[in-house]
Amino acid sequence: MKNISKLLAFGFMGLALASCDDSYDDWSQPQQNPQEEIITLPNFTATVAQPIDFDQVTSDSVTVFTLNEATLPEGVTLEKGRLEITAQNAAKTTVNVSGNGRACTAELLDAVVAAYGKRPVERTMSAEVLLNAMKDGQAALIKAGTIELKLTPKASEYTPIYYLVGELQGWSDQAKTCMFYPESQTVQTYTTQWTGAGNLKIWDENNFGKWANAIGAATDGDNSASGKLVTSNAGAMVCPEPGTFYTLKVDFETMSYTWTKLDNQTPAEYEKIGLIGDFNEWKSDEEMTATAPHNWTAELTIAADTKLKFRANGSWDDNWGADVNVAEKYYGTGTKGGENIKVPAGKYNVFFNDITGEFVFAAK
């Protein structure tokens, strides 16, 4: 094994990094910091800790790895270091760690949300472990291998996805074409002309296609202006006036629903709706598909973080945007001529309503 004096020859430098509450230099900025010399030690590796469910974490730091410190040369102690995390198409993220393998909870959660969004699904992220080893006031940056983190964002901060199943989409247990638009974590809406029989049930994202788990009215065919939602033996809810424009609002906290008739029964009609932005150089629209009256959907793959808008008929006469970062909230309400929507790299099912301006970017 190399001894510490030989390691010193590689060029030690003061690299003390910070904990959650301290300030530190941004080592991702090469104009501020020289390229670091990274040293490896035989048999000195980090072992990943148990998978982390952030809903179960109550402290401001969490253990992400353990070390076999017995392989360190005599007199060497470990100081603060960092994880360099990579995941799918996201940019490399740096998270600070202590010498005993604990990371700031907020930084780690931010890293997984930035890469994958807030859906509470376990994600695997590769992390290179770099630690600052100290002896006699001098420091060397030591690589302790690469670990595979398994991280689950907070379910308590996630807004679940719900789909409409009914005459609008052919009562299909395969067609995820009509997604509700969230207003909050518990309240969601769908606005359209409720054609045909105007009937529907609801599936959440984890139960799509399972008729026994459908959400609906206590009485099949109930066309009341409001009512209670049930999850057992659910019947179909029916628009009070089939063929008319209504907003259906559902509240999953109170398990209730309300139908509201639109004042304007002749909303503007558009031949097509498209997405345009940095991802296609603001040149031509990524066209969406009409799924229900005034509701549109598209599958979208974005190679790099982008800003974009919705627009009608390939023209700027009618366009919608919002000051929303999809990495933080996957839904919002666009306004005519609003700001560009920020969307991180990834694959999405996109939904848009041209009456209300509501939109969803559901990560695939």
Distance, in Å, from the CA atom of 279 to the CA atom of 340, rounded to the nearest integer, reads 12
Q: CA torsion 268→273→279→280, rounded to 10°?
A: -110
DSSP 179: B
**Is the pLDDT reported for residue 356 higher than 60?**
yes
Q: What is the mean pLDDT of residues 290-305?
A: 96
Reported confidence tier of residue 90, pLDDT bands at 50, 70, 90: low
Asked whether residue 18 carries a pLDDT value surpassing 60, the answer given is no
pLDDT at 26 over 60: no
What does the block give as tokens for 325? Answer: 């970062």
pLDDT value at residue 257: 98
Within 10 angstroms of residue 235's Cβ, the number of other Cβ atoms is 16
Mean pLDDT of 158-187: 96
Query: By percentage, how much of the chain surpasses pLDDT 90?
Result: 73
pLDDT at 150 over 70: yes
The b-or-e profile of 202-223 (16+ CB within 10 A means b, else e) is: bbbeebbeeeeebbbbeeeebb
Which of 9-23, 98-112, 252-266 has maximum average pLDDT? 252-266
CB under 8 Å to 145, separation ≥6 — which residues? 45, 46, 128, 129
**pLDDT tens, position by position, 178-233:** 999 999 999 999 999 999 999 999 999 999 999 999 999 999 999 999 999 999 99
Q: Please determine, for residue 9, whether its predicted confidence score (pLDDT) is greater than 80.
A: no
Q: From residue 3, give the alpha-carbon distance in Å to each of 25, 28, 74, 176, 363.
A: 29, 30, 8, 61, 49
Of 231 and 5, the one with more pLDDT:
231
In this prediction, residue 276 has a pLDDT band, given cuts at 50, 70 and 90, of very high
Percentage of the residues of the chain whose pLDDT score is greater than 70: 89
Bridge partners of 65?
48
With bands split at pLDDT 50, 70 and 90, how would you rate the model's confidence at 20?
Answer: low
Question: pLDDT at residue 78 above 70?
Answer: yes
**What average pLDDT is seen over the chain?**
88
Average of pLDDT values for 323-340?
95
Looking at residue 31, its pLDDT comes to: 37
Encode pLDDT of 99-125 as tens digits.
889 999 999 999 998 888 888 999 999
4 phi and psi angles, rounded to 5 deg: -65, -30
Q: How far is CA 169 from the centre of its chain?
A: 26
CA-to-CA dists, residue 94 to 110, 130, 162, 215, angstroms: 11, 10, 34, 42
Vertex 257: Cα angle to 209 and 323 (nearest 5): 85
pLDDT exceeds 60 at position 134: yes
End-to-end CA, the chain? 47
Buried-exposed string 84-106: b where 16+ CB fall within 10 A, e elsewhere: bbebeebeebbbbbbbebbbbbe
Distance separating alpha carbons of residues 313 and 318, to the nearest angstrom: 8
- Per-residue confidence at 149, pLDDT binned at 50, 70, 90? very high
CA angle centred on 147, ends 143 and 148, rounded to 5°: 155
3-state secondary structure of 36: coil
pLDDT at residue 71 greater than cutoff 90: no
Q: What are phi and psi of 224, to 5 degrees?
A: -65, 155
**In this model, does residue 91 exceed pLDDT 80?**
no
Per-residue pLDDT band at 89 (split at 50, 70, 90): low
Q: Say how far apart CA 201 and CA 169 lie, in whole Å.
A: 11
200 Cβ neighbours under 8 A, 6+ residues apart: 164, 165, 166, 167, 168, 216, 236, 237, 248
Q: Is the predicted pLDDT of residue 15 greater than 90, yes or no? A: no
